[in-house]
Amino acid sequence: MAEKYRVRFAPSPTGSLHIGGAHTALFNWLLARRTGGTFVLRIEDTDLERSTKEYERSVLDGMRWMGLDWDEGPDKGGAFGPYRQSERMYLYKKYARQLLDEGKAYEKEGAIFFRIEPGRHIHFHDEVYGDIDVESERASVNQDGTIKDIVIMKRDGMPTYNYAVVIDDFTMGINMVIRGEDHVINTPKQLLVYDALGFRRPHFAHLPMILGRDKKKLSKRQGATSVFEYSDMGYLPDGVFNFLALLGWSPRTGQEIFTREEAVEIFDIKNVTRKPAVFDVDKLNHINQEQMKMMEPHKLLEAIRPFWKQMGLPVEKFDDEYLASSLKTLGGRGQTTIEVAEYSDYFLDFSKVTERYDGKEIKEELRPKLKKIYGELLDAWGDGTPERLQDEARKIFDANGSSMKESATPMRWALTGRKVSPGVFEVAAQLGKEETKKRLEFYGLV
């Protein structure tokens, strides 16, 4: 990949950034970063009725959340601006006039039509779909099969998509167009305009469709939603980034979990598949979990803290060292930040334990034995490391004729209110001697 690519992501500000758009933006970003090229953000706002500044801000915020920074755009400027179509009208009119003057377009009922000449062979190579050939008379047809000339300027003076995108991509120096597979059908029409204006054609790469697990078009229920909603559902930007990168592409190394830097290093547009990609929530959950495991504890803490606060946990009572250490003790349990917050609540608030567990299933005849065992364990606390506690517990259990299951299980319930948790001695070490004693006392176990 010696060539430095100028690529673009060109959303319409008629809604928030959704998964499909984020997927396209991501692949453009990866190619630009892989080749040391330029990633351009262009706003296609010629739909005056539906485009809003609020949606534009939402799209930009979604890009920022995903970590997809752009080199040129409406908020950054650049040598090829303006970067909003509504501010580029002079260009559309200029080239429409050129086509009219050369007899390649004509006016009718206030609109301008591009004339499609029959007998033209259109060939282009797609980086994903290979060589594609279309005859000009099949590029745009009426229902009866006759040639349908292309509207390039509507009666209201606004350019159509298939015209504006050509003018924009050429005048912005875009040399690789990466977009969804549904645009393959538009490419021959656009190439006719490129050729008519004497523009150099860019390279093309069309990305595979994203389908739900039912192999149908992605629905909101299955994932076609705003990227911000993924944040609210407990997904990390790095988790969504990693997951989306694998939709329609896989590294030759077979690697599935990677950082952004690693993704840039191993990305190759030629490895994008033609096969539709399936949005598998289970895989997203797995990748998100693995990304959280890779995070430095204090960074993970900042992702978890808002959810603890939403749960009403007394976060402010603890310093960051304790909170980060608690997350480290959790040992990678939980696939989303919400689950991590829920699974770790007992480190912050004993009342969450008592809400879940009443201690009634502890057999009365076993209580004296457990009280003796736990009392001896507290006396042998020492430096309170998990290793120390486990070693002492084994000796004490053996000396009292008890098993790990008989004695450790009630202790786990008393400390966490859960059947499943990190090692009970890891939890006790993290809580500390006094808190461990307090919780055992509450259940009458010391």
Q: How many CB atoms lie within 10 A of CB 239?
A: 24
Q: What does the longest C-alpha to C-alpha distance in the chain come to?
A: 101
- Domain stops at, among 260, 282, 304: 282
Is 312 found in the same domain as 177? no
Does 353 reside within a domain? no
Does 289 reside within a domain? no
Is 184 found in the same domain as 124? yes
Query: What average pLDDT score do residues 38-42 get?
Result: 98
CATH number at residue 76: 3.40.50.620
pLDDT at 253 over 90: no
In the prediction, which pLDDT does 313 show? 98
Count how many domains the chain has: 4
pLDDT at 422 over 90: yes
The proportion of the chain whose per-residue pLDDT surpasses 70, expressed as a percent, equals: 98
Does 287 reside within a domain? no
pLDDT in tens, 321-372: 999 999 999 999 999 999 999 999 999 999 999 999 999 989 999 999 999 9
Q: What is the mean pLDDT of the chain?
A: 95
* Distances from the Cα of 140 to the Cα of 17, 18, 146, 215, 406, angstroms: 30, 29, 9, 29, 76
* Distances from the Cα of 327 to the Cα of 72, 112, 334, 409, 410, angstroms: 39, 63, 11, 22, 23
Domain range enclosing 120: 88-207
Cα 303 from Cα 293, distance rounded (Å): 13
**228 confidence band (pLDDT: 50, 70, 90):** confident
Tokens 């966490």 correspond to what residue? 416
> Which alpha helices (DSSP H) does 51-149 contain, by range?
53-66, 89-101, 136-139
The pTM (predicted TM-score) of the whole model is: 0.92
Is 108 found in the same domain as 203? yes
Is 111 found in the same domain as 194? yes
pLDDT at 1 over 60: no
Does 249 reside within a domain? yes
pLDDT at 223 over 90: no
Is 143 found in the same domain as 128? yes
CATH number at residue 398: 1.10.10.350
Residues marked active site are found at 220
Is 183 found in the same domain as 98? yes
Is 270 found in the same domain as 235? yes
Report long-range pairs for 296-300 (Cβ below 8 Å, ≥24 apart). 297/324, 297/325, 297/327, 297/328, 298/324, 300/324, 300/327, 300/340
In the prediction, which pLDDT does 2 show? 59
pLDDT in tens, 135-162: 999 999 999 989 999 999 999 999 999 9
Is 148 found in the same domain as 109? yes
- Domain stops at, among 176, 207, 238: 207
Does 254 reside within a domain? yes
Is 129 found in the same domain as 239? no
pLDDT in tens, 84-114: 999 999 999 999 999 999 999 999 999 999 9
**54 confidence band (pLDDT: 50, 70, 90):** very high
In the prediction, which pLDDT does 287 show? 98
**252 confidence band (pLDDT: 50, 70, 90):** confident
Is 309 found in the same domain as 413? no
Is 363 found in the same domain as 266? no
pLDDT at 310 over 70: yes
Most trustworthy range by pLDDT among 43-47, 335-339, 358-362, 403-407: 335-339
Helix, strand, coil tally for the chain in percent (to 5): 50, 15, 35
Does 1 reside within a domain? no
173 Cβ contact partners less than 8 Å away, ≥ 6 residues apart: 6, 80
In the prediction, which pLDDT does 222 show? 63
- Domain stops at, among 172, 192, 207: 207
Does 21 reside within a domain? yes
**34 confidence band (pLDDT: 50, 70, 90):** very high
The residue type of 101 is D
Does 113 reside within a domain? yes
In the prediction, which pLDDT does 127 show? 96
Cα 394 from Cα 243, distance rounded (Å): 43
In the prediction, which pLDDT does 220 show? 62
pLDDT in tens, 185-217: 999 999 999 999 999 999 999 999 999 888 888
Is 188 found in the same domain as 102? yes
Cα 212 from Cα 228, distance rounded (Å): 19
